[in-house]
């Protein structure tokens, strides 16, 4: 190999190791390398200008060091921000995102008039599927399938486990936010999927539902509401007609790296029940988006206290949630 070729390759190797861009700093480095080669008698008779030019040309073939520094590595802050963005989307009930939450409510000391008979557990399976109607409008569908475990309330008839009525909601919502706000509205239908008359009515029902959401840098907040009337049925003790309302304010604060704190009390009114008609919880919890292989999963846990409760109910409720995100 000729001396000049060896020098050019050596200078190119130096540039590749340093990853320096073609800049004043790179030119200074090339000049220093030429001086060191000249002192060692290894210039091969080539002029400084030629060798420095060859060094700078080799430097242009190398990736810019500052660009490499800005490229996100696995587990870096940009990747963590992606988890936070996913968390914010799952906190929005009308986000354009396919997800399947498994939302569990464990009510302790459940029983009539505060007489504890055990723990009632309600697991709500809630697949959320968006339908893209036009470039400007989406239809966000949410189905809530409750699986109920109930303690023995003898002499009141109960079944150990079964499925309660299913609620299906469809929110018509614009695809674009306005100053951070998104709204959605549509129908909610109650489907009589009960496996026992102890778990709800065998009559279809429906009504309106609506939601408003504000999304900021770290905050996702808003409220969801609906009212359902039965389509017929009989009133009075043992009847199967119903009229219920739900109001769910929610507030989420995102800390970064997928971590967040939340409160989303389900305030419920059962307008046809005897005695106390309201359930009013207060509380909150924390959660994080993690990954199972390539599948993002949201995990959260919170504790709520019913400041107002119906005749059959408990004071403390543990809420846990696992959401699959697609």
User: What value does the mean pLDDT take over residues 106-119?
Assistant: 81
CB 258 within 8 A of CB 282: no
pLDDT digits (tens, 9 = 90+) for 162-185: 999 999 999 999 999 999 999 999
User: What value does the mean pLDDT take over residues 212-240?
Assistant: 95
Identify the band that residue 20 occupies on the pLDDT scale cut at 50, 70 and 90.
Answer: very low
pLDDT of residue 283: 98
Alpha-carbon radius of gyration of the chain: 32
* pLDDT at 142 > cutoff 70: yes
pTM given for the model: 0.75
Instruction: Show me where the domains of the chain are located.
Output: 3-70, 80-325
pLDDT of residue 167: 98
For the chain, what is the HEC assignment? CCHHHHHHHHHHHHHHHHCCCCCHHHHHHHHHHHHHHHHCCCCCCCCHHHHHHHHHHHHHCCCCHHHHHHCCCCCCHHHHHHHHHHHHHHHCCCCCCCEEEEEEEEECCCCECCCCCCCEEEEEECCEEEEECCCCEEEEEEEEEEEEECCCCCCCCCCCEEECCEEEEEEEEECCCECCEEEEEEEEEEECCCCCHHHCCCCCEEEEEEEEEEECCCEEEEEEEEEEEECCCCCCCCCCCCEEEEEEEEEEEEEECCEEEEECCCEEEECCCCCCCEEEEEEEEEEEEEEECCEEEEEEEEEEEEEECCCECCCEEEEEEEEEEC
d(CA 103, CA 114): 25
Identify the band that residue 156 occupies on the pLDDT scale cut at 50, 70 and 90.
Answer: confident
* pLDDT at 45 > cutoff 50: yes
* pLDDT at 188 > cutoff 80: yes
Q: What is the topology classification, in CATH, of domain 80-325? A: Porin (2.40.160)
* pLDDT at 290 > cutoff 90: yes
* pLDDT at 215 > cutoff 80: yes
* pLDDT at 115 > cutoff 80: no
Most confident of 29-43, 65-79, 94-108: 94-108
CB 23 within 8 A of CB 67: no
CB 113 within 8 A of CB 311: yes
pLDDT of residue 1: 52
How many Cα atoms occupy the beta-carbon half-sphere of 235 within 13 Å? 6
Question: Which stretch of 84-88, 126-130, 148-152 has the lowest confidence by average pLDDT?
Answer: 148-152
**12/117: higher pLDDT:** 117
d(CA 6, CA 148): 78
Q: What is the dihedral of CA 285, 219, 171, 90, to 10 degrees?
A: -50
d(CA 221, CA 214): 5
pLDDT digits (tens, 9 = 90+) for 27-39: 666 766 766 666 5
Taking the CB of residue 165, how many other CB atoms lie within 10 A of it? 21
Residue 205 CA to chain centroid, in angstroms?
A: 30
* pLDDT at 308 > cutoff 50: yes
* pLDDT at 3 > cutoff 50: no
Identify the band that residue 107 occupies on the pLDDT scale cut at 50, 70 and 90.
Answer: very high
Q: From residue 73, how far is each of 18, 76, 152, 258, 293 by CA, in Å?
A: 19, 5, 54, 17, 17
In degrees and rounded to multiples of 5, residue 206 shows phi and psi of -175, 175
């073939």: which residue's tokens? 61
Share of the chain above pLDDT 90, in %: 64
Q: What is the mean pLDDT of the chain?
A: 85
């Amino acid at each position: 190999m000729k001396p000049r070729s060896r020098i050019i390759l050596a200078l190119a190797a130096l540039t590749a190791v340093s990853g320096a861009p073609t800049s004043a700093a790179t030119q200074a480095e090339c000049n220093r390398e030429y001086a060191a080669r000249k002192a060692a008698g290894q210039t091969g008779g080539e002029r400084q200008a030629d060798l420095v030019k060859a060094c700078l040309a080799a430097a242009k073939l190398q990736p810019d060091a500052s660009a490499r520094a800005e490229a996100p590595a696995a587990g870096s802050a940009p990747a963590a921000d992606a988890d936070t963005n996913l968390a914010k989307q799952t906190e929005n009930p009308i986000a354009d995102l396919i997800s399947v939450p498994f939302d569990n409510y464990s009510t302790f000391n459940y029983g009539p008039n505060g007489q504890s008979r055990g723990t009632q557990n309600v697991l709500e399976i809630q697949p959320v599927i968006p339908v893209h109607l036009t470039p400007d409008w989406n239809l966000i569908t949410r189905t809530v399938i409750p699986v109920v475990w109930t303690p023995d309330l003898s002499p009141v008839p109960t079944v150990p486990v079964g499925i309660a009525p299913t609620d299906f909601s469809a929110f018509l919502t614009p695809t674009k936010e306005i100053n951070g706000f998104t709204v959605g509205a549509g129908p909610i239908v109650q489907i009589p999927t009960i496996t026992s008359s102890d778990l709800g009515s065998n009559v279809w029902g429906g009504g309106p539902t609506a939601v408003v959401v504000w999304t900021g840098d770290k905050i996702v907040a808003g409220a969801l509401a609906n009212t359902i009337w039965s389509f017929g049925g009989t009133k009075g003790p043992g009847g199967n007609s119903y009229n219920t309302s739900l109001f769910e304010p929610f507030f989420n604060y995102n800390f970064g790296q997928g971590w967040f704190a939340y409160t989303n009390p389900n305030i419920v009114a059962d307008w046809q029940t005897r005695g106390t008609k309201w359930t009013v919880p207060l509380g909150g919890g924390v959660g994080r988006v993690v990954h199972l292989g390539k599948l993002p999963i949201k995990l959260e846990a919170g504790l709520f206290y019913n400041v107002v409760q119906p005749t059959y109910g408990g004071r403390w409720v543990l809420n846990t949630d696992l959401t699959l995100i697609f």
